[in-house]
């Protein structure tokens, strides 16, 4: 799947589900079929149906049971059997389990006195155990949680059923990338994960409100390298925090921004994005400043998330403060104002913004994906 730009995809995302939607996990299952019956006692390989919907659900019955075939007897059937069989086959292959697990579905129909007998032959691209193991999640919140788990656990594959989720592959792509940016301790992409990470996303089927989502990732470093990176980053952050103690009991967001400004080697479009390099004095891009700041916030117990949108800038942070959530722009982390040589201008003033204030500055972002930054009531 062609990778999408994160900011654009998120700004086009529909408000499908609030951030507070609860995650539900269960194994994949289908609704009870009521438009068919078992034709013969103790033989569930022969079903009886009388309507088109009964025909479709009979096919799904065999697929849900991961059967290699079966027989459907159509009694009192008033439709065109051949055209309905072709349509039913296509409909079944657009069902999530059918689209995900069925390699081929063939059929033969024969007229026998008072009914039509349809013989099915089914081959699968997935095992029954693979299908049974698929968890089900609800809404965008559930999708995000599965993707965040994929990132934090460095899984090579994640497969889950997304119910009440009508986003496309581009939105899943964007949510995956956001999950990567929201794990700064795992970040190791000099050119960004959009360019450096090998991954694929497939939806079964591509449209609808209930799909199976499959994500495959080829992580570019080993688990041992990742563990070493986490240790090095934690060591660098601890040294900076110990060398810049808070005025109160805990560091504030403003104090951490000052730590970042003192640590990095200046704003540079060709600079680093890696948090460890930012904290150890390297010139940095805006993304690198934000990732380093995000990591320090998490180390100090401050809730923080990377936000993506459009406007004067394309990414920033949303941080928790005693007054509520607030937007923190990368400008607050500059060593000097953009375009000025280091040391020739004072450090920019630290500032936090509400939604209303940031909107007035020309920024736009998908509000359903992020906490509300409201004025105090």
When pLDDT is averaged across residues 266-273 and rounded to a whole number, the result is 93
Whole-angstrom distance, CA of residue 307 vs CA of residue 329: 10
Q: Which pLDDT band, with edges at 50, 70 and 90, does 32 fall under?
A: very low
Q: What is the mean pLDDT of the chain?
A: 87
Question: pLDDT tens for residues 161-198?
Answer: 999 999 999 999 999 999 999 999 999 999 999 999 99
pLDDT at position 349: 76
Alpha-helical regions (H) of the chain: 6-12, 52-64, 81-93, 96-101, 128-132, 139-152, 169-181, 193-196, 223-243, 253-263, 275-279, 286-299, 355-360
pTM of the model: 0.81
When pLDDT is averaged across residues 197-224 and rounded to a whole number, the result is 94
pLDDT at position 223: 81
Whole-angstrom distance, CA of residue 233 vs CA of residue 25: 34
Sheet holding 69-75, edge to edge: 36-40, 43-49, 69-75, 115-124, 102-112
Question: pLDDT tens for residues 36-77?
Answer: 555 554 456 899 999 999 999 999 999 999 999 999 999 999
β-pairing verdict for 157-163 and 136-138 = parallel
pLDDT at position 338: 45
pLDDT at position 221: 82
Most confident residue range from 226-230, 266-270, 357-361: 357-361
Instruction: Indicate whether 4 pLDDT > 70.
Output: no
pLDDT at position 28: 46
pLDDT at position 36: 58
pLDDT at position 234: 96
Q: How far is CA 368 from CA 69, 234, 372, in A?
A: 45, 32, 9
- Least confidently predicted of 14-23, 209-218, 270-279: 14-23
Query: Which residue has better confidence, 223 or 113?
Result: 113
| CA 208 to the chain's CA centroid | 17
Say if CB 73 and CB 48 are below 8 A apart.
Answer: yes
Instruction: Indicate whether 20 pLDDT > 50.
Output: no
Question: pLDDT tens for residues 72-98?
Answer: 999 999 999 999 999 999 999 999 999
pLDDT at position 368: 87
Burial 50-74 (b: 16+ CB within 10 A, else e): bbbebbbbbbbbbbbebeeebbbbb
């Amino acid at each position: 799947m062609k990778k999408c730009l994160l900011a654009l995809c998120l700004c086009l995302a529909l408000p499908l589900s609030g951030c507070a939607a609860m995650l539900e996990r269960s194994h994949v299952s289908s609704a009870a079929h009521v438009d068919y019956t078992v034709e013969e006692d103790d033989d569930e390989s022969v079903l009886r149906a009388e309507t088109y919907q009964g025909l479709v659900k009979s096919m799904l019955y065999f697929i849900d049971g991961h059967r290699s075939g079966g027989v459907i007897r159509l009694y009192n059937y008033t439709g065109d059997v051949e055209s309905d069989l072709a349509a039913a086959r296509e409909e079944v292959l657009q069902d999530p389990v059918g689209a995900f697990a069925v390699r081929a579905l063939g059929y033969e129909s024969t007229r026998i006195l008072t009914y039509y007998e349809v013989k099915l032959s089914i081959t699968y691209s997935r095992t029954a155990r693979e299908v049974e193991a698929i968890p089900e999640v609800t809404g965008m919140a559930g999708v995000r949680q599965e993707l965040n788990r994929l990132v934090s656990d460095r899984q090579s594959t994640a497969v889950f059923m997304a119910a009440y989720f009508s986003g496309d592959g581009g939105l899943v792509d964007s949510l995956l990338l956001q999950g990567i940016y929201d794990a700064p301790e795992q970040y190791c992409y000099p050119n960004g994960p959009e360019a450096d990470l090998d991954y694929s996303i497939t939806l079964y089927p591509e449209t609808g409100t209930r799909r199976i989502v499959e994500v495959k990732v080829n992580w570019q470093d080993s688990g041992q390298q990742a563990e070493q990176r986490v240790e090095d980053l934690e060591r660098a952050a601890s040294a900076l925090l110990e060398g810049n103690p808070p005025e109160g009991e805990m560091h504030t967001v403003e104090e951490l921004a000052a730590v970042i400004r003192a640590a990095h080697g200046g704003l540079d479009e060709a600079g680093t994005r890696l948090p460890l390099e930012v904290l150890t004095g390297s010139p940095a891009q805006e993304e690198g400043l934000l990732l380093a700041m995000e990591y320090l916030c998490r180390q100090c117990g401050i809730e923080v998330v990377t936000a993506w949108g459009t406007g004067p800038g394309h990414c920033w942070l949303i941080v928790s403060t005693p007054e509520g959530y607030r937007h923190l722009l990368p400008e607050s982390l500059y060593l000097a104002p953009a375009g000025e040589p280091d040391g020739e201008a004072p450090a920019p003033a630290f500032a936090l913004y509400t939604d209303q204030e940031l909107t007035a500055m020309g920024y736009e972002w998908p509000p359903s994906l992020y906490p509300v930054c409201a004025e105090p009531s």
